[in-house]
Chains A and B, each alone.
Chain A
Amino acid sequence: MIKTVSKNGKIMAKTGNEAIAEAMRQIEPDVVAAYPITPATEIVQIFSQFVSDGIVKSKYIAVESEHSALSATIAASAAGSRAMTGTSSQGLCYMSEMLYIASGLRLPIVMTDVNRAISAPINIHADHSDTMSVRDSGWIQIYSENSQDAYDNIIQAVKIAERAMLPVIVTMDGFIISHCMEVVEVYRDIDVKKFVGIYKPKRYLLDIKNPYTLGSIDLQDYYFEHRYQLAKAVVDSKKIILDVAEEFKELFGREYDLCEKYMIDDAEIAMIVLGSTAGTIKDEIKKIREEGIKIGLLKIRIYRPFPVEQVVENLKNIKVVAVMDRSDSCSGAFSPLYSDVVSSLYSHGIIDIKVVNYIYGLGGREINNLHIKNICDDLNKILLGIEKQPYEVKYVNIRKK
């Protein structure tokens, strides 16, 4: 069982997809445009039932593709409505062009992406290749560890998006979270509605008395400034994300930050991870700690904007770190999370630290306590000088032949 933290919350059994659909029912956006894709289909299926039953007054557009899903969502947002969508994997890739347009136009769209591997070979299971492929698209990216996280994150995302004037992707690992029945505390409708408030756009297309042109051609004399403003807004949104977390805590009791620390304050070795594997790592760390090994975890909740300062602050006294990537950049120059961690450390002068890059779980490949334990053993050997820091990416639980 989980602890109820909100006075009026209700403990329910929900899959990640159900939890997101429940949050969407409570948020009740004006427009949802979406296209089915495993493992995210259930979200829009449940939501369209709410529409058909008149439980929500939202307009649901069952579009003919993910490209049109995001195009219509962008347009609905530009028109002045609160708009949401959701997808996964190939769908997110197909939306890719429009992702950059959504952020470039500073539209506060909220999307759920159920993380799934990218083809080929086709695979429907969890990894982070899809959201990593669009990590520089100017969207805020929030990763969820479990259904409760996903539910809480999507509610906060609405407020973050509208305050920062930036689109937000909330992610959860395909099947591991999206289809796993868990205990979720669902808050009262009235409280969620109060929290997200009423959307009041400053400028919108349906404001007929104040018509304007959006999506102009922006040449050498303006484009650079507009992209700079976007980059700045993404970086500055850290404060907004923390403010929203504070307001969330006040109303619902749960605490959120850019990162989550787990037994890291006195640690000598540490792991960094995104998403559901954080749960497995926490469980194993508890056991390893009993052996007297000082290990900790830093879970990245907000991947974009990257929490540079918090990563530096929490790692500066660590000797050996494993950065766990659930995607591969196929570059020979390490994976996305590793690159972000190492550049954060190096730019802050933290160079006396050994950082190892592990790639795990592609296409839903199992990652269990034993794998975590083995990684911990590797780190410990490096700490004790028994082994050297490897100069290349290490692959977890893979057959290399």
Chain B
Amino acid sequence: MIDLKDLSKNPERFACGHRLCSGCGAGIVARQVLIAASKFDVVITSATGCLEVSTTIFPYTSWKCSFFHSAFENSAATCSGIEAAYESLKSKGKIDKDIKFIAFGGDGGTYDIGLQSLSGAMERGHKMLYICYNNEAYMNTGIQRSSATPIGAHTTTVPIGKFSYGKKQNKKNLTKIMIAHDIPYVAQTYVGNWNDLMTKVQKALSIDGPSFINILTPCRLGWNYKVQDIMKISRLAVDTCVWPSYEFEKGIYKINVIPKQKKPIIDFLKIQGRFKHLLDESKSYVVESIQQYVDNEWEYLKNVSTNTISY
């Protein structure tokens, strides 16, 4: 567990003045990750995306630690190159400090175009933490569907219309894919719980090997909510179990936040503009199918988290 009092003494390494929207989750993720990592020297890489373009407008930067961006699909490969250079220079005695490596990518840069690069870096076992700030669509280019976009969501490439209720396919379960890589640490967390997020970041950084954290990160523009509702929406994602907070460590699943009372998925959907059309009576079958999917996944997770054996 993290002591908030201790954390407050840590220097901020993510400077204000960046151009992220009000009510955006990405800035919260970046700031909390850096605060959680504050006892280490870190080098950050990022995929092209909102976080990168909004924080590094030349000649300014929000990053007080070294930050590197080169392209969209290669944040993981990039981070692995820096880590390899570090290992090489350290073995030759040219660097003596302990440095941690963190790669950021949105869901487009992680679930879709960057999946190969991520899979390769994780399989090779580089000592790095990959963080997906998952806002469930290509938000930087203006809300296009990605493989992380949930069923029923309106996006500009699968818009709602006379013959469309938005995306027809379910989102890809990337966290499961990363678990299947058999890396030492995989977790899901969300923006509305600083303690859960930062504890996971600290855990991931303490591990000798690759780790992956998938963070549900609301996007005000793409999800279409009131600025002040960001935390509420994130927490509803966990309370409805559409985005459970859990971790997978050395073969053991653990649900980190168990809702006191599991809420119906409609509570999560109804306060977001991207799902507004699902409230219509004629679309109740879509909501029912989402509820069914959430229930199945939640049962699966509860099952594996009580029946797995550590290795």
Contact = CB atoms under 8 A, between A and B. Distances in A.
A67 B89 contact: no
A57 B88 contact: yes
B68 A205 contact: yes
A72 B84 contact: yes
B61 interface: yes
Interface residues of A, number: 43
Contacts of A76: 81-82, 84-85, 88
A98 interface: yes
A31 B84 contact: yes
Interface residues of B, number: 45
Interface string B70-93: 110110011111101111110110
Contact of A98 (B59, B70, B97, B99): B70
A230 to B, nearest CB: 15
Given A205-B43, A208-B66, A71 B56 contact: no
Contact of A67 (B59, B77, B91): B77
Interface in A111-170: none
- Counting chain A CB atoms within 10 Å of each CB, which of B57, B85, B117 scores highest? B85
Contact of A31 (B79, B81, B95, B120): B81
A68 B74 contact: yes
A31 B59 CA distance: 30
Given A30-B88, A64-B123, A75-B70, A213 B99 contact: no
B94 to A, nearest CB: 8
- Counting chain A CB atoms within 10 Å of each CB, which of B81, B87, B91, B97 scores highest? B81
A206 B77 contact: no
B89 A213 contact: no
A59 interface: yes
Given A71-B81, A72-B84, A76-B82, A216 B69 contact: yes
B78 A30 contact: no
- Counting chain B CB atoms within 10 Å of each CB, which of A67, A205, A218 scores highest? A205
Contacts of A98: 70-71, 74
B41 interface: yes
B285 interface: no
19 contacts: A30-B88, A30-B92, A31-B81, A31-B84, A59-B87, A68-B80, A71-B70, A71-B78, A75-B78, A78-B70, A79-B43, A79-B81, A81-B85, A81-B89, A208-B99, A211-B64, A216-B57, A217-B52, A219-B57
Q: What 7 pairs between A and B have smallest CB-CB spacing?
A: A75-B81, A64-B120, A72-B81, A215-B69, A68-B77, A79-B85, A81-B85
